[in-house]
């Protein structure tokens, strides 16, 4: 007997270790920086539409629009100190 519908699951995303871009699990090359190193150990998703006018994009050094992780294991995000 069939068992209802599949549990809804989150999209499987992984983060580029270099720039923090979030991509689907089956992507092998980062579309933003070209890195091939990814990690699933990331936290906090941010969607950048316009990096030039986004304070967050500047803080995270995000040059391109897209989805990015705020924290990526092994990646140090430079903070702008006053």
Binding site for Zn ion (CB under 5 A): 16, 18-19, 21, 30, 32-33, 35
Bridge partners for 46 per DSSP: 68
Nearer to Zn ion, 6 or 76 (CB): 76
Give which of 14, 35, 32, 33 is closest to 23, Cα–Cα.
Answer: 14
R_g (Cα) of the chain, nearest Å: 15
**CA-based angle 15:20:82, to the nearest 5?**
150
Closest approach, Cβ 70 to Zn ion, in A, equals 14
Closest approach, Cβ 1 to Zn ion, in A, equals 46
Nearer to Zn ion, 16 or 48 (CB): 16
Closest approach, Cβ 58 to Zn ion, in A, equals 17
């Amino acid at each position: 007997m069939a068992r209802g519908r599949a549990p809804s699951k989150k999209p499987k995303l992984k983060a580029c270790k270099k720039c923090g871009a979030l991509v689907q699990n089956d992507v092998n090359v980062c579309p933003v920086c070209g890195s091939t190193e990814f990690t699933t150990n990331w936290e906090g998703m941010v969607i950048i539409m316009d990096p030039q006018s986004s304070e967050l994009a500047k803080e995270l050094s995000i040059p391109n629009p897209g989805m990015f992780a705020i924290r990526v294991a092994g990646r140090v995000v430079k903070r702008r100190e006053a």
